[in-house]
Structure formats: structure tokens, C-alpha cells
Amino acid sequence: MFNSFKALKRHGTVVSFGQSSGAYTDLQMTDLAFGSFHLTRPTLFHFYANRNWLENASAELFELISNEKVKLDQVTKYPLENVAQVHTDIENRKTTGSVILEI
């Protein structure tokens, strides 16, 4: 985890989306002081607990994407009928970025 802080500018934020490689054992609160860093660990359940907030936030995000203010650089698309292959590729870490199933 500490190596992630090396990529940050002052007041930068590390977002931890999981611990697929195991729990962090080397992180100390004092590590954040090197650059007044921020650390967040979002949990999916907190994002969909309020349906109204979720719908508004989703609409805002999709508008930013359609206006190209948010760019999706790494997108892998699969036909819906290949959904089993998608799961296999994700589980075997063969994908990066967003994965989209096309209907």
C-alpha cells in the first residue's frame, strides 16, 4: 500500500477497491502524513442504499461520459452471449479497465 502513496501529489487520494492480494499489513496512519494524503475504501452497499442518490449520481456520470468530460480509456467489449468467457477473463485477470456486455 505504501508504494501507492509514492505516485501521489500533495493532498492526493488513494482509493482502495479491495484486497485481492490479501489484507494490508504495512499501512500506518502516519504514512498519510508524508503528503497530507487521503485514503478511502468505498463499499458498494453504501452507494446503492439510497436509490434516489444512486439514480442522480448515475445520470450525472453518464452525462459526463457522453460529453467526454470523463474518458473511458480502457474498455473491453464482449457480446452478451459470451458472458461466460467474460467471467473467466475477469477471474483470470485478463481484463483491465471497464468491461461492457453488448446486447
**Pair 55, 31 in one domain:** no
Residues 37 and 4 in one domain: yes
Give the count of domains, the chain: 3
The per-residue pLDDT for 51 is: 93
Average pLDDT value for the chain:
89
Sign of CA dihedral 68, 97, 82, 80: negative
Residues 37 and 8 in one domain: yes
78, 62: one domain: no
Domain assignment of residue 80, given as a range: 73-103
Mean pLDDT computed over 53-71: 94
What are the start-end ranges of the H helices in the chain?
A: 2-5, 44-48, 51-66, 83-91
**pLDDT for the residue numbered 84:** 96
Q: Are residues 25 and 50 in the same domain?
A: no
Question: Does residue 60 share a domain with residue 36?
Answer: no
Q: Which pLDDT belongs to residue 97? A: 86
**pLDDT value at residue 74:** 86
pTM of the model: 0.52
Whether residues 60 and 24 fall in one domain: no
Asked if residue 58 has pLDDT above 90, the reply is yes
Q: Is the pLDDT of residue 23 over 80?
A: no
